[in-house]
């Protein structure tokens, strides 16, 4: 078990390898990816449980809070803006994580629209055999 964790750590270290020092790297891309993955997982795994709430604003809150929280955690644990005071940094990172989630939703919607255009434009009668 210990060897597997060490290999996973080495894999993550190789994945995050960059010539820039960690203090100068922006964590925006990794927080956006984490937000997208968490949103997709919530939609795929918990849609039955979330729909049992039967209140639209509570469902929206569940779908939005977890990806924003994941993006906030990624941003807060990074070395980004460590020079700021703790309360100011937390407020700034909360606003940035909310805007990241909004941008992720817009990008996902745009990607789905493009995929639909490609599907209907290029695959006319896709299920029909020739």
Q: How much is the pTM?
A: 0.69
CA 113 to mean position of chain CA atoms: 19
Q: List, for the chain, all residue ranges whose pLDDT scores fall below the cut of 70.
A: 1-5, 8, 10-25, 47, 125-130
pLDDT at 127: 64
- Computed over every residue of the chain, the mean pLDDT equals 80
With b meaning 16 or more CB within 10 Å and e meaning fewer, what string describes 65-103?
ebbbebbbebbbebebeeeeeeeebeeebbebbeebbee
């Amino acid at each position: 078990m210990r060897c597997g964790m060490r290999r996973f750590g080495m894999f993550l270290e190789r994945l995050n390898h960059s010539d820039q020092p960690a203090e100068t790297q922006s964590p925006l891309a990794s927080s956006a990816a984490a937000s997208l993955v968490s949103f997709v997982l919530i939609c795929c795994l918990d849609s039955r449980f979330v729909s049992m709430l039967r209140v639209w604003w509570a469902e929206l809150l569940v779908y939005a809070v977890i990806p924003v929280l994941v993006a906030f955690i990624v941003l807060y644990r990074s070395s980004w803006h460590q020079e700021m005071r703790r309360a100011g940094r937390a407020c700034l990172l909360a606003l940035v994580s909310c805007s990241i989630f909004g941008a992720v939703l817009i990008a996902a919607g745009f990607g789905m629209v493009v995929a639909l255009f490609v599907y209907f434009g290029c695959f006319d009668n896709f299920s029909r055999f020739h």
